[in-house]
Structure 1
Amino acid sequence: MFFGRQYSEEELRLIRCIEEVVAGSGGGSDDRCLRAAAEYLCRKRLGEAASLDKIAARHGVQLLCVYRWYSKLFQMGYRYPRDEFEHHLETVRKIYGEAVAEEVRRLYEFLKSKGAVQGLKPGGVVAALLYYAAKKHRFKYDVVKAAYEFDTYPETVEKNIVLFQWYIHGII
């Protein structure tokens, strides 16, 4: 990072994501093609409309070189969104904030460890977990709105809320 420059939260998340992908890829941290491919992947993860050719030009490398690295990263499991849950969690983060998103993640990890989310669609799970995060962070929760935001049915969300209460309150 350059000294004296203030980075926005969005820029810091992009930088962290790029560093994480580069470090986990096994390539050299000075490989400009790898860095360009990682930037493209991370910008897509953050919901930006990214252009692979423009990113390649900005890094001063050929598009084919960047595409090869992007293909390698995809084969290694680096994708956007990482999975459906992560995609929905980003939606929670954008609409409700970081604290609510972390509460949803914490609850999800707990329920996942108990086997409670196996076989359930991530959108319905996140919409239901948002109910518990809303109670904790004291904001108004609307089942229909949550179902709409996460592309599921209100009945599914209500069913999941009831199912999860047994796990969350320690009855199961």
Structure 2
Amino acid sequence: MFNKPLSEEELQLIRCTEEVLSNLNEKDNNCVKAAAEYLCRKRLGGVTPLDKIAAKYNAQLICVYKWYERLFQMGFKYPRDWLEYYLEVVRRTYGEAVAREVKRLYDFLKSKGAVEGLKIGGVVAALLYYAARKNNVKYDVVKAAYEFDSYPETVVKNIVLFQWHIYGII
């Protein structure tokens, strides 16, 4: 019969899993496959429980968990990069144009040393304010703070801090 085409999320999951597995000599091990898929699902924002993925590969849960831990120790982390992870959240929620603007502002502020020592979630939530205004997208500081694992007060502080750099006062 006919197979339906894979969605973009499914293709991303397959690419990520293959990338992780290509760095290991355990490609035929179902525990490794399940651990790699779990790691990649987490990177992509998925919430599939580890036990369901283990069952999919007919692997023991403890074996999959141990391999997941080993992958983490080998440097396969979730997320691979917090900025990229948060930009993906912005992309999915607010669109590509807003994500590009957040990235542009982040690069600019980083070049000025303005983001040194600040948590990336609070930085992205604050930059989303400027990017949303530029792209006529509704922005809610409380929603943004919780989306990016920060506090509303921190986001407001960052918005004020960044305005000096963004508008050329500093």
What TM-score comes out, normalization by structure 1 length? 0.74
Q: CA–CA distance in 2 between the matches of 1:56 and 1:146?
A: 34
CA contact (8 A) 1:27 1:34 kept: no
CA contact (8 A) 1:143 1:158 kept: yes
The match for 1:20 is 19
**Equivalent AA in structure 2 for residue 160 of structure 1:** N
Q: 1:102 to 1:37 in 2, by over 3 A?
A: farther
Asked whether 1:139 is paired with 2:137, we answer yes
The match for 1:7 is 6
Aligned-pair CA distance for 1:145? 4.0
- Residue deviations 1:95-122 (CA, integer Å, cap 9, x gap): 2134423432343244334322111122
- Structure 2 counterpart SS, 1:132: helix
Q: How does 1:61-72 map to 2 (within 5 A)?
A: 61-72=59-70
Aligned-pair CA distance for 1:27? 3.2
Aligned-pair CA distance for 1:75? 0.3
Aligned pair count reads 168
Bigger mean CA deviation after superposition, 10-19 or 80-89: 80-89
Say which of 128, 131, 150 aligns to 1:130: 128
**Equivalent AA in structure 1 for residue 59 of structure 2:** V
CA contact (8 A) 1:36 1:59 kept: yes
Question: Structure 1: which 5+ runs fail to align?
Answer: none
Aligned-pair CA distance for 1:128? 1.1
- Structure 2 counterpart SS, 1:103: helix
- Structure 1 counterpart SS, 2:115: coil
CA contact (8 A) 2:141 2:152 kept: no
The match for 2:47 is 49
Aligned-pair CA distance for 1:15? 1.7
Q: 1:109 to 1:51 in 2, by over 3 A?
A: same
- Residue deviations 1:14-57 (CA, integer Å, cap 9, x gap): 2222123223x333544433221110111223333323233223
Q: CA–CA distance in 1 between the matches of 2:143 and 2:61?
A: 42
Question: Structure 2: which 5+ runs fail to align?
Answer: none
Q: 1:144 to 1:22 in 2, by over 3 A?
A: same
CA RMSD in angstroms comes to 3.0
Aligned-pair CA distance for 1:125? 0.7
Q: CA–CA distance in 1 between the matches of 2:24 and 2:147?
A: 37
Q: CA–CA distance in 2 between the matches of 1:142 and 1:51?
A: 31
Q: CA–CA distance in 2 between the matches of 1:131 and 1:169?
A: 14
- Structure 1 counterpart SS, 2:47: coil
